[in-house]
Amino acid sequence: MADSSSTSLTDNQTFDFANLVFLNVATQAPICLSSDNIFTWKAQWDALLYGYALTGYIDGSLMCPPSSSNVAYMYWTRQDQLLYGSLLASLSCDLAPMVASAKTSRAADELALLNAPLKDEEITIYVINGLNSDLKEISAALRSRDTEIFFEHLHERLLEYEAYLHKTGSQISDDAVAVAHVVNHTTSSSGFNLNFSRKPGS
C-alpha cells in the first residue's frame, strides 16, 4: 500500500518513451533469487532501483496513474512491465512460476520474496543486525561467539535477556525484542517479506 508521500505521473509532464529504463539482467542483475541468497539478491536490486530512480514502482510511492491519463498511464505501465520482466528474469526456475501470475513489478517483488524462504543462519544474522542500542550488550556477546547460534536458541536468549532487564528495572524499548517475535512468527509460514523501501546507506 502506498504511503501519504505517494506521487503519480500526470499528463502535464513530458514523457519521452525512448527514456524508458531497460535493465540487462544478465549483466546488471546476474544473481538469481533462490533460498540461498535472498539478502544478496535484494542488495543487488536495491542498488539498481535506487540508481535508476525506479524504487517508487516497487514500494508504491509512485502510483499508477488512472487510465484516463492516457500518456501518463501508458508510460507508467510500460516502465512497470519492463521492470516486471527484469525481476522475473532474475528468479530461479523454482520461483519464477510462483511469480508469473503477478500483474505489476511490485506484486512480482512481493511474491518473489514471500516464496523465497530464508535459511536459519540468515534469519539469525538479520535479527542480530536489527538489535538496537537497548540490547547492545547481548548483541556484542552474540557476535563474539566462536560457534553458530541457531535461531531458536537466539530467540530464547533474547527473551531471557528481556526478562532480566525488566527484573532489574532497566529500561527497554518496546521494539527491542519484538523483532525476534516477528521473525519467529513469520518464518513459520512460507517466507519472509523484505520490501524494497530502504535507500542505500540508510
- Tens of pLDDT along 50-89? 999 999 999 888 888 888 878 889 999 999 999 999 999 9
Q: Which has the closest alpha carbon to 77: 127, 27, 17?
A: 17
What is the C-alpha to C-alpha distance for residues 3 and 109, in angstroms, rounded to an integer?
A: 18
Verify that 110 and 124 share a domain, yes or no.
Answer: no
**pLDDT for position 126:** 60
Q: How many CB atoms lie within 10 A of CB 90?
A: 23
Q: Are 28 and 99 in a shared domain?
A: yes
Whether residues 126 and 181 share a domain: the answer is: yes
Residue 181's alpha-carbon distances to 114, 158, 174, in angstroms, are: 18, 10, 12
Query: What pLDDT does residue 82 have?
Result: 95
Q: Distance of CA 154 to CAs 126, 158, 159, 162, Å? A: 12, 6, 9, 12
Q: Which amino acid is at 44?
A: Q
Question: What cell numbers appear for 165 in the block?
Answer: 532487564
Q: Are residues 124 and 105 in the same domain?
A: no
Whether 130 maps to a domain, the answer reads: yes
Q: Judge if 107 and 140 occupy the same domain.
A: no
Q: What is the mean pLDDT of the chain?
A: 74
Residue 117 DSSP class = P
Kindly state whether residues 100 and 135 are assigned to the same domain: no
Q: Are residues 37 and 98 in the same domain?
A: yes
CA–CA distance, 174 with 166 (Å, rounded to integer): 12
Write down the residue that cell numbers 528495572 correspond to: 169
In a domain, residue 163? The reply is yes
* Torsions phi, psi for 5 (to 5 deg): -95, 10
Same domain, 104 and 161: no
Full-prediction pTM beyond 0.75?
no
What pLDDT does 124 receive?
64
Q: What is the spatial distance between Cα 178 and Cα 103, in angstroms, rounded to a whole number?
A: 33
In a domain, 201, yes or no: no
Confirm whether 53 is domain-assigned.
yes
Question: Is 171 found in the same domain as 106?
Answer: no
- For 105, the domain range is 7-11+19-114
Residue 87 to residue 99: CA distance in whole angstroms: 10
The total of structural domains in the chain comes to 2
In a domain, 199, yes or no: no
Dump pLDDT digits (tens) for 120-136.
Answer: 565 566 666 666 666 66
| Residue 83 near residue 23, CB atoms below 8 Å | yes
Q: Is the domain of 63 the same as that of 101?
A: yes
**In a shared domain, residues 40 and 63:** yes
- Answer whether residue 82 is part of any domain: yes
- Considering the domain boundaries, does residue 200 fall inside one? no
Question: Quick check: is 87 in a domain?
Answer: yes
d(CA 106, CA 119): 24
Per-residue confidence (pLDDT) for residue 188, from 0 to 100: 44
Where a domain ends, among 63, 88, 114?
114
CA pseudo-torsion sign 52, 57, 62, 68: positive
Burial of 88 per CB tally in 10 Å (0-12, 13-18, 19+): middle
